[in-house]
Amino acid sequence: PANNLGLEDIIRKALMGNLED
């Protein structure tokens, strides 16, 4: 779950979302 992710992981995932777009 997102709750267990660290700040950097959340940021990297959210930024990656853009690359996939």
Partner 1 sequence: ELTREQHTLLNFLVDSYNKHRIPQDMAKKLLQEQFNAEENFLLLTEMATSHVQVLVEFTKNIPGFLGLDHEDQIALLKGSAVEAMFLRSAQVFTRKMPSGHSELLEDRIRKSGISDEFITPMFNFYNSIGQLHMLQEEQALLTAITILTPERPYVKDQQAVERLQDPMLDVLRRICALHHPHQPQHFARLLGRLTELRTLNHHHAEMLTSWRTS
Report in angstroms how near the CB of residue 13 gets to partner 1 at its nearest.
Answer: 8
Taking the complex as a whole, how short is the minimal distance between the CB of residue 14 and partner 1, in angstroms?
Answer: 4
φ/ψ region of 5 (left if φ > 0, alpha if ψ in -120 to 50, else beta) reads: beta
- DSSP for residue 3: G
In the range 2-21, which residues lie near partner 1 by CB under 8 A?
2-3, 5, 7-8, 10-12, 14-15, 18
| Neighbour count for residue 21 (Cβ, 10 Å) | 5
Instruction: Indicate the residue type of 9.
Output: D
**List of residues contacting partner 1 (CB under 8 A):** 2-3, 5, 7-8, 10-12, 14-15, 18
